[in-house]
Chain A
């Protein structure tokens, strides 16, 4: 597999972990808040509510990291750095959003963001022997699992094609061949 040109490969100490995790969660919060607002602007209140409901959970996840920050002198992480080979940016799942998205789709997207967090934490745990990193990541994973449970509980069944009324969107784009 070709190595990403901006892949971080060494010096993944606690300070770096805190900074990298904080960056990732900050992105998730930013996009949850932003998409909640734009969905509201496009009169999709139901999907907007899901993004705004998840934002506080990400903020409490970030709080776990922030409590550790005063003790650390954080490195300046270049915004293009890739923390691990399989890393996906939280924004990637949001490219599947659209203004007519159902609640099911909204829950799927927020669940994808949580999975991106999980994936990063799994990689960190697999590649560290530092106890303080392990402790931090374990508590973050526990928090993520709680978010996952919320998603699993609230995720509604997907709409079937028959349920979709074409009159819902009076100006739907033409399907392309």
Chain B
């Protein structure tokens, strides 16, 4: 058989699932995000050995264990720091970082801002359930100020963190919101985010059925894929700040300088990348 006639094997979502089955609480939105991600990877037909998935700590950060790709379950809030290092050392890899709202916006808040600023070619998936679920329900940066629980009986009284607004202001070149209860739309957003050259923030509303059972109602509140894509930051800011948080779609996508290009002057490779070359590349 000639090379031209060998059929290209089309990947299936199950090809990317690991032998470990997820043990999130039944009904948790993260199940549907995991599946949407495997479907996006399958659609893009990416080789498993060319994907690096990095996470921090929390329920959502268990993700690397459930995918049959290279994974690193890192330190709390440091998913983006690890992912940045990985992308610098191995620019040929498709690098995905994943975590929750507490991990990414609180403990990892500083890394988040500067990852956006560098605009490296990383896809950042944030599974936002507005609560620290793994530690039994503390308010997170995206919790409403009056949301109360056993651990914060009167709420925090603090205004919500606006991750998409921060990402836009900090220089991210792809900003989208998805909903775990819209598997089809979410798969589309993830596919576009992975394909995008630059830092992609995919903020996903993902109900925590155990500590935020009222979030089951999100299903009725969401307005799916109703956002108009723009490359104009002013228009994007208007859409982001004008949204009540229940619109999904790609808010902003622009062709912007990617940090990798400067770092690539060194052309680090897994065989040759030294700490010295990585540190040199990181100096802005």
Chain A positions near chain B (C-beta within 8 angstroms): 4-6, 27, 30-31, 33-35, 37-39, 41-42, 44, 47, 76, 78-82, 89, 91-92, 94-99, 101, 171, 173-176
The size of the chain B interface, using a CB distance under 8 A, is: 44
Kindly provide the distance from the CB of A80 to the nearest chain B CB, expressed in whole angstroms: 4
Which B residues are CB-close (under 8 A) to A47? 26
- Contact assessment for A35 and B210 in the assembled complex, using a CB-CB cutoff below 8 Å: no
- Contact assessment for A80 and B23 in the assembled complex, using a CB-CB cutoff below 8 Å: no
Kindly provide the distance from the CB of A169 to the nearest chain B CB, expressed in whole angstroms: 10
**Nearest B-chain residue to A80, judged by Cβ:** B188
Kindly provide the distance from the CB of A120 to the nearest chain B CB, expressed in whole angstroms: 13
Comparing B35-43, B193-201, B257-265, the segment that makes contact with chain A is B35-43
Bound Cα distance from A174 to B27, whole angstroms: 18
Which A residues are CB-close (under 8 A) to B214? 176
Which A residues are CB-close (under 8 A) to B183? 27, 89, 91
Which B residues are CB-close (under 8 A) to A175? 213
A sample of 28 cross-chain residue pairs with beta-carbon separation below 8 angstroms, ordered by A number, consists of A4-B225, A5-B225, A6-B184, A27-B35, A34-B22, A37-B23, A38-B26, A38-B31, A42-B23, A42-B25, A79-B43, A79-B191, A80-B185, A80-B191, A89-B184, A95-B181, A96-B27, A97-B26, A99-B26, A99-B210, A173-B211, A173-B212, A174-B148, A174-B150, A175-B213, A176-B147, A176-B148, A176-B213
- Contact assessment for A96 and B216 in the assembled complex, using a CB-CB cutoff below 8 Å: yes
**3 closest A-B pairs by CB:** A97-B27, A80-B188, A97-B26
Kindly provide the distance from the CB of A67 to the nearest chain B CB, expressed in whole angstroms: 19
- Contact assessment for B219 and A94 in the assembled complex, using a CB-CB cutoff below 8 Å: no
Bound Cα distance from A46 to B13, whole angstroms: 29
B179-209 contacts to A, CB under 8 A, are 180-185, 187-188, 191, 207, 209
- Contact assessment for A79 and B40 in the assembled complex, using a CB-CB cutoff below 8 Å: yes
Could you mark each residue 121-162 of chain B with 1 if its beta carbon is under 8 Å from any beta carbon of chain A, else 0? Answer: 000000000000000110000000001111000000000000
- Contact assessment for B210 and A95 in the assembled complex, using a CB-CB cutoff below 8 Å: no
Q: A34-B22, A79-B184 are in contact. Are A94 and B150 (CB under 8 A)?
A: no
Which A residues are CB-close (under 8 A) to B39? 79
Q: A42-B26, A89-B183 are in contact. Are A30 and B150 (CB under 8 A)?
A: no
Kindly provide the distance from the CB of B229 to the nearest chain A CB, expressed in whole angstroms: 11
User: Which residue of A38, A89, A101 contacts B24 across the interface (Cβ within 8 Å)?
Assistant: A38
Q: A99-B210, A173-B213 are in contact. Are A38 and B22 (CB under 8 A)?
A: yes
Bound Cα distance from A44 to B162, whole angstroms: 37
Which B residues are CB-close (under 8 A) to A99? 25-27, 210
- Contact assessment for A81 and B219 in the assembled complex, using a CB-CB cutoff below 8 Å: no
- Contact assessment for B137 and A95 in the assembled complex, using a CB-CB cutoff below 8 Å: no
- Contact assessment for B32 and A91 in the assembled complex, using a CB-CB cutoff below 8 Å: yes
- Contact assessment for A98 and B27 in the assembled complex, using a CB-CB cutoff below 8 Å: yes
Which B residues are CB-close (under 8 A) to A27? 35, 183
- Contact assessment for A30 and B35 in the assembled complex, using a CB-CB cutoff below 8 Å: yes
Which B residues are CB-close (under 8 A) to A80? 184-185, 187-188, 191
Which A residues are CB-close (under 8 A) to B225? 4-6
B37-52 contacts to A, CB under 8 A, are 39-40, 42-43
B14: CB under 8 A from chain A? yes
Bound Cα distance from A101 to B27, whole angstroms: 10
Kindly provide the distance from the CB of A66 to the nearest chain B CB, expressed in whole angstroms: 14
Could you mark each residue 232-268 of chain B with 1 if its beta carbon is under 8 Å from any beta carbon of chain A, else 0? Answer: 0000000000000000000000000000000000000
B29: CB under 8 A from chain A? yes
User: Which residue of B29, B40, B184 contacts A95 across the interface (Cβ within 8 Å)?
Assistant: B29
Which A residues are CB-close (under 8 A) to B184? 6, 79-82, 89
Bound Cα distance from A41 to B136, whole angstroms: 18
- Contact assessment for B21 and A34 in the assembled complex, using a CB-CB cutoff below 8 Å: yes
Q: A81-B184, A98-B213 are in contact. Are A173 and B24 (CB under 8 A)?
A: no
Which B residues are CB-close (under 8 A) to A31? 31, 35
Bound Cα distance from A98 to B25, whole angstroms: 7
Which B residues are CB-close (under 8 A) to A96? 27, 216
Bound Cα distance from A6 to B43, whole angstroms: 15
Which B residues are CB-close (under 8 A) to A79? 13, 36, 39-40, 42-43, 184, 187-188, 191
Bound Cα distance from A97 to B38, whole angstroms: 22
- Contact assessment for B26 and A39 in the assembled complex, using a CB-CB cutoff below 8 Å: yes
